[in-house]
Amino acid sequence: MLYITRKPGQAVIVDHVVEVRVVEVRGRTVRLGFRFPPTSSVLREEVYRQVERANTRAAACARAFLEGRREFPKGADDGGADGEAAEGGGGDGQRLGLGDDAARGTGAG
């Protein structure tokens, strides 16, 4: 893992296409802004893990079905949803809670 220090207003560029900018630091909270291609997918870690678990359960159920088993793995029927909506790509700052300027990519730079 790469560790880097940035101050508010500073950014890092990943693979020439993804910009991660420090928008604000308030106490122990850091607000980040992201600029990325519309084909990119961006999820908070906890949502990513939830989707990963749901996909693993779905694959186990599909495997059981294809093998002709009548009982499916535990947890297969709940879908893993806990009411939290996944956040997606498209560079849409509003979904990431970055505000109007970040959503338009017009914030102070």
pLDDT in tens, 48-104: 999 999 999 999 989 888 988 877 777 645 444 444 444 444 444 444 444 444 444
Question: Are 47 and 35 a contacting pair, CB within 8 Å?
Answer: no
Q: Which tokens sit at 96?
A: 């990431």
Q: Which residue has the higher pLDDT, 21 or 89?
A: 21
State the amino acid at position 41 in one-letter form.
S
Beta-sheet pairing, 18-26 with 11-14: antiparallel
As a whole number of angstroms, the distance between CA 90 and CA 14 comes to 16
Report field, pTM of the whole predicted structure over 0.75: no
pLDDT band of residue 20 (cuts 50, 70, 90) is very high
